[in-house]
Amino acid sequence: MPYRIRWEGHGVYRRFVGPISAAEFQQAYAEMVSDVRYEGIRYVISDFLEAQPGPDISKRDLAAFAKLERLRYFDSPDTVHATVATNENTLAYARYYGSLRLAHPEATFSTVAEARRWIASNPRPTWRATKWHAKSADPAQAAGP
């Protein structure tokens, strides 16, 4: 299988290897969103460091996939998505995909460590609200020490 999905505490790490066909990319997405853990995740890391787009992936496929992702937005509205890639073809697809008005914040990085730092520094509104409610009804106190 050209990908592996690893569920983490509040998110999912997807690692792709070798040439990835449109069908395989779609299969990885379908497997991820059909898992009961998907609802409410906070991040997705898609690691393409050892992968490249297969010859059958087109911009049309990416546009259709972005539309599908927008339709699934309310399953996990506070998710951020980090793409990790260095291959020029993969980066070109990531830039195009990022230009399609995605439902979730999206950024591209050259290392998984950079992606994780961005995720940690990018709290979404629901995360802040949850933290705020847990600490205090006073927003000044919710900011913490």
Average pLDDT over residues 56-70: 80
Is the per-residue pLDDT at 136 higher than 80? no
The total number of structural domains that make up the chain: 1
Average pLDDT over residues 56-60: 86
Residue spans of beta strands (DSSP E) within 41-133 = 43-53, 80-84, 106-109
Identify the CA nearest to 107 among candidates 38, 56, 55, 46: 46
Report the percent of the chain where pLDDT is more than 90: 40
Residue 26: give the domain boundaries: 3-142
pLDDT at 72: 65
What does each C-alpha distance from 119 to 6, 54, 129 come to in angstroms? 16, 28, 17
- The answer to whether residue 3 scores a pLDDT higher than 50 is yes
Q: Give residue 76's pLDDT.
A: 61
Q: What is the mean pLDDT of residues 13-35?
A: 93
Q: Alpha carbon of 11 to those of 46, 72, 132: distances in Å? A: 11, 16, 21
Question: How many Cβ atoms are within 10 Å of 45's Cβ, its own excluded?
Answer: 22
Q: Which among 52, 102, 100 is positioned nearest to 77, based on CA atoms?
A: 102
Indicate if the pLDDT at residue 24 is higher than 50: yes
DSSP of 75-86 = GSTT-EEEEE--
| CATH number of the domain enclosing 127 | 3.30.750.24
- pTM (2 decimals)? 0.77
- 72-123 pLDDT, tens digit per residue, is 655 666 788 899 999 999 898 888 877 776 667 888 999 999 999 999 987 6
CA angle, corner 87, sides to 16 and 108, nearest 5?
Answer: 75
